[in-house]
Amino acid sequence: MRVSSGKNASNDVPEPPGATLEVDCMEHPTVIQPARHAQWRPDKMGKATLFESARLLVGLNAFEPGQVHELHSHEGMDKLYYVLEGDGVFLLEGRQMTMRAGELMVAPENVPHGIRNSGTGRLLVLTVLAPAP
Show the DSSP H helices in 80-133 as ranges: none
pLDDT of residue 89: 98
Indicate if the pLDDT at residue 11 is higher than 50: no
Tell me the per-residue pLDDT of 13-72, one tens digit each, with 9 for 90 and over. 344 444 433 434 568 898 999 999 999 999 999 999 999 999 999 999 999 999 999 999
Task: Name residue 50's amino acid.
Answer: L
Degrees to nearest 5, angle at CA 124 with 5 and 15: 30
Residue 5: which of 19, 28, 21 has the closest Cα? 21
Tell me the per-residue pLDDT of 86-123, one tens digit each, with 9 for 90 and over. 999 999 999 999 999 999 999 999 999 999 999 999 99
| pTM for this entry | 0.81
Can you list the domains of the chain with their CATH numbers? 3-130 (2.60.120.10)
Alpha-carbon gap, residue 49 to 127, rounded angstroms? 9
